[in-house]
Amino acid sequence: MDVGLIGSQGAGKTTVFNLLTGALLSTSAFGGRVEAHRAAASVPDPRLDVLAGMYRPRKVTPAQIHVVDVPGIVRSGGEGPNRFLNEVRSVDALVHVLRGFEDNLGEPPNPLDAAADMELELSLADLEALLRRRERLVGGKKMTREAREELDLVDRLIPLLEEGGRLDQAALSPEEDRMLRGYQFLTLKPMVWVVNLSDQAMAEGHFPGEEELRALAASKGIPLVAMAGQWEMEAGQLDEAERAEFLAQVGVVETGLSRLARAIYAHLGLISFLTAGEDEVRAWPIERGTTAKAAAGKIHSDIERGFIRAEVVAFSELSGAGSMAAARERGAVRMEGKDYVMQDGDVVNFRFNV
């Protein structure tokens, strides 16, 4: 899945992109009309460290998401908004980076207005698409049953957008959701807001307009994460011991980067199952609700094709026992069939025959 970082120029989204992916893009790279940058980002998962301590593997592989740094809207000539919207339509989820610090010109931060303006931009784009679709449905030569059902849905959604809502708040049925998926509506995409704060605001634990912004995020069902991008970039230059000491001194238990990566992952509806052995400890991303047989196919199609059983133990049970042998003695390891619905943190060994 591709996750697009969006935001106004100077909000720090390229800094956030660099933090997520380990890239070294210049933070002034998007001053003009340039192409989006893409890179993979690892999802922090402390469970992998625990399993690595048990198995001493040759390799540890975290789950990954693909991140796209989408250039901001350049309005000169009228091309910018359309180009921006086209880029945004190509991703599966969005992270809106909001400036929570004073800019180089001394302009104070106003993340609430920035969030509201972007939501308006995305809603208007969806509203325009719905109005065009309605015009085609009404103007068609024959109103079939399917067209009537779609027209009824369109007529229900237009007022929602006109009132400032999002399409993902429409409580769509599975059939209605399938009906809309082909249109790449922007307010149907999972959204996360990240407020990029100054060092001082992060240390103080609050920022201007925080209460109002959190209320707006809650009303739209959007997760909100606060972080200090530049500060975390500098902390990332330290070695592991120095970084841990530095974080402890400023009272940071978990970095904003970790919270953001996990918020994106969870809001995409993803969970991880884990595999562990001497060769590799690995987290495998799957959609919530995936069955054991389908999960096996994430590793290799042969394992799915020849699936027999899944040997499963919950991570909490395994870590509590201290080893797979001890977990078996406790009766924590169980055999599951192909229709078993995988749970986040399941440690799995698939049995198969091809």
Domains of the chain: 2-44+62-111+188-267 (3.40.50.300), 118-186 (1.10.150.300), 289-352 (3.10.20.30)
**pTM summary value:** 0.85
Q: Could you tell me if 167 and 161 are in contact, meaning their C-beta atoms sit under 8 angstroms apart?
A: yes
Are the CB atoms for 80 and 74 separated by under 8 Å? yes
Q: What is the pLDDT of residue 30?
A: 43
Nearest to 187 by CA among 126, 133, 130: 126
pLDDT score of 77: 47
* Model pLDDT, residue 26: 63
User: Which pLDDT value is given to residue 76?
Assistant: 45
- Among the residues of 221-338, which ranges form H helices? 229-235, 240-249, 256-267, 292-299, 301-305, 315-321, 324-329
Structure tokens at 354: 């091809």
Enumerate residue ranges in the chain where pLDDT < 70: 25-34, 73-82, 249-253
Length of the chain: 354
Q: What is the pLDDT of residue 83?
A: 75
pLDDT tens per residue, range 286-296: 999 999 999 99
Please tell me the predicted confidence (pLDDT) of residue 81.
60
pLDDT recorded at residue 286:
95
